[in-house]
Structure 1
Amino acid sequence: MAILIPKKVPHRKVRKGKNSGIATRCNTVAFGEFGLMSLDNERINSRQIEAARQAITRYIKRGGKIWIRIFPHTPVTKKPLDVKMGSGKGEPQFYVAKVKAGTVMFEIADVTEEQAREALRLASHKLPVKCKIIKKEEF
């Protein structure tokens, strides 16, 4: 299982920050034919992204092409169990991607529409956000 983590981060620990509003970038299907769009603002960790990727790959039996449009750059810290308050911030435990409503998280191509819809539906069950399956607009 290849967990997504950044090779290098500018700061080892970062503050939580806000994750509100709608996506202004990464909000259209750019590479594939079908996409999985988030309808909520949420933090998605690297394990959830990997689980969704595996669900898609297993369903399409390694056919087609998949693009993962999100990457977990943000470290999340946690203090160990049974440690009293104070004495600084905890150590980084895992990495998350901050996803806004309207972000296209996964894209898929070179498969039939039924296969794509079912694969993305299975992937959506692995993620902590409500999702919508979208098709590339033909211009």
Structure 2
Amino acid sequence: MLQPKRTKFRKAHKGRIHGDAKGGTALNFGAFGLKALEPERITARQIEAARRAITRHIKRQGRLWIRIFPDVPVSSKPAEVRMGSGKGSPEYWVARVKPGRVLFELDGVPGHIAKVAFERAAE
């Protein structure tokens, strides 16, 4: 799964996702793309599951680009632990995605195959 090799800080604030994406809104590599419509945090597991769904459907023809990277650590405390005593340890990594951001790009496949592949990935 995707995660940074090293980071400046171990833990990050939760934050909010405001506004539309400024960059990464146009297709740069492929002929077809999957674009975000809502602000959301997408986990590394979700990115990997979508990548597998797309590559299985296109059957190794064409090329796939992943345009987002999970660079924000999300921390959580273990179950049945009392409040206080600091922030929990990092559990997983997410990418903060704004509306309009291109998530995946495809090239070298027919349009109808790309459409079904992106529909499966979006589930």
Which TM class, normalised by the smaller chain length? over 0.9
In the alignment, does 2:53 pair up with 1:60?
A: no
Matched residues in 2 for 1:98 and 1:106: separation?
15
Which ranges of structure 1 fall in alignment gaps of 5 or more residues? 126-139
SS in structure 2 at match of 1:55: helix
Instruction: Report how many residues are paired.
Output: 123
After superposition, give the CA deviation of every residue in 1:15-58 in whole Å (9 maximum; x if it has no partner): 01121110010001110000000000000000000000000000
Which ranges of structure 2 fall in alignment gaps of 5 or more residues? none
Shift of 1:5: 1.0
Q: Post-superposition, which runs of at least 4 consecutive aligned residues in structure 1 deviate over 4 A?
A: none
Aligned match for 1:49, one of 47, 50, 60:
47
Once superposed, what is the RMSD of the aligned Cα atoms? 0.5
- 2:72 corresponds in structure 1 to 74
SS in structure 2 at match of 1:14: coil
Shift of 1:112: 0.5
Identical columns (%)? 51
Matched residues in 2 for 1:55 and 1:82: separation?
36
Aligned match for 2:119, one of 113, 118, 121:
121
- 2:30 corresponds in structure 1 to 32
- 2:21 corresponds in structure 1 to 23
SS in structure 2 at match of 1:118: helix
After superposition, give the CA deviation of every residue in 1:58-99 in whole Å (9 maximum; x if it has no partner): 000011000000000000000011110000000000000000
